[in-house]
């Protein structure tokens, strides 16, 4: 069966394609500055096809329903959409799309890979504990670890939750540096696991989430769109090939 094309309101189209707030988008439309397929359009609630040729002040806009950004989260900002006290990861994004949000949370003092998107279905799949998407971190500890700690991570640890954590990988690097791979995303999970084996985390950076690897050319605070290949691999890891695909709750 042929899928019915999803139409969108003109104000939403302008808002996303031109990076305007919804109320600014409406103002532009009402002021007669917008055309749809060459004809002026003053109704913000007019439905348009995502393929329509929409122009603002004569300039054709490109509409992208789903946005996928790789952010190198710096320390000192919180992984939230808004916060009364601290700057959030969205304050770093120069695009006021009201639907963007971070996929999962990194602590305020953790840096590294954070996916920012408006694709709620993909986020849900990536965060589902059933899907077991690996997250890899670089950590600097306050002392060395050896076989005993590696084995404890491999077995999964009791960090005070109902169940032990899933098996995790602890790989010593130079001096007190380690690489840690976990499959869940419990609150402060890496720090609590390290604490459980008698070590504290002095510095933490997320390197990857499933197939998505932090682009080290991005400085802390920098971000870029995912490449087509990165997105395809991420969708596959999430068990879907389609952006925005809704599924039954897992």
The residue ranges that bind ligand URA (CB under 6 A) are 106-107, 110, 188-191, 204
What's the full length of the chain, in residues?
250
Query: In the annotation, is 94 catalytic?
Result: no
Q: How far is the CB of 108 from ligand URA (least distance, A)?
A: 8
Q: State the catalytic residue, choosing from 24, 99, 107, 134.
A: 107
Nearer to ligand URA, 15 or 180 (CB): 180
Nearer to ligand URA, 185 or 239 (CB): 185
Nearer to ligand URA, 37 or 109 (CB): 109
Q: How far is the CB of 110 from ligand URA (least distance, A)?
A: 3
Q: How far is the CB of 32 from ligand URA (least distance, A)?
A: 49
Phi, psi at 76, each rounded to 5°: 95, -5
Q: How far is the CB of 244 from ligand URA (least distance, A)?
A: 26
Nearer to ligand URA, 22 or 188 (CB): 188
CA atoms within 13 A on the CB side of 90: 16
> What does the buried/exposed string (b/e) look like for 121-144 if buried means 16 or more CB atoms within 10 Å of the residue's CB?
bbbbbbbeeeeebebbbbbebeee
C-alpha span between 17 and 29 (Å, rounded):
13
C-alpha span between 118 and 17 (Å, rounded):
14
C-alpha span between 100 and 155 (Å, rounded):
37
Q: Tell me the catalytic residues.
A: 107
């Amino acid at each position: 069966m042929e899928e019915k094309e999803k139409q969108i309101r003109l104000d939403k189209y302008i808002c996303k394609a031109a990076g305007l707030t919804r109320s600014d988008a409406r103002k532009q439309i009402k002021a007669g500055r917008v055309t749809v397929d060459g004809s002026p359009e003053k109704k913000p609630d007019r439905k348009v096809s995502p393929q329509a040729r929409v122009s603002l002040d004569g300039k054709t806009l490109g509409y992208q329903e789903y946005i996928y950004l790789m952010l190198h989260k710096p320390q000192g900002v919180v992984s939230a959409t808004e916060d009364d006290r601290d700057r959030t990861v969205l304050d770093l994004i120069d695009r006021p799309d009201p639907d963007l949000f971070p996929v999962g949370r990194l602590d305020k003092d953790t840096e590294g890979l954070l996916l920012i998107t408006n694709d709620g279905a993909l986020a849900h799949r990536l965060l589902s504990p059933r899907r077991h998407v690996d997250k890899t971190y670089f950590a600097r500890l306050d002392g060395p670890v050896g076989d005993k700690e590696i084995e404890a991570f491999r077995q999964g640890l009791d960090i005070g939750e109902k169940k032990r954590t899933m098996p995790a990988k602890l790989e010593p690097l130079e001096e007190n540096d380690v690489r840690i791979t976990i499959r869940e995303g419990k609150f402060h999970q890496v720090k609590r696991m390290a604490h459980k084996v008698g070590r504290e985390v002095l510095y933490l950076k997320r390197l990857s989430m499933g197939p998505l690897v932090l682009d080290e050319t991005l400085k802390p605070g920098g971000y870029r769109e995912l490449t087509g290949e990165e997105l395809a691999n991420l969708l596959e890891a999430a068990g879907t090939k389609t952006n925005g695909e809704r599924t039954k709750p897992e």
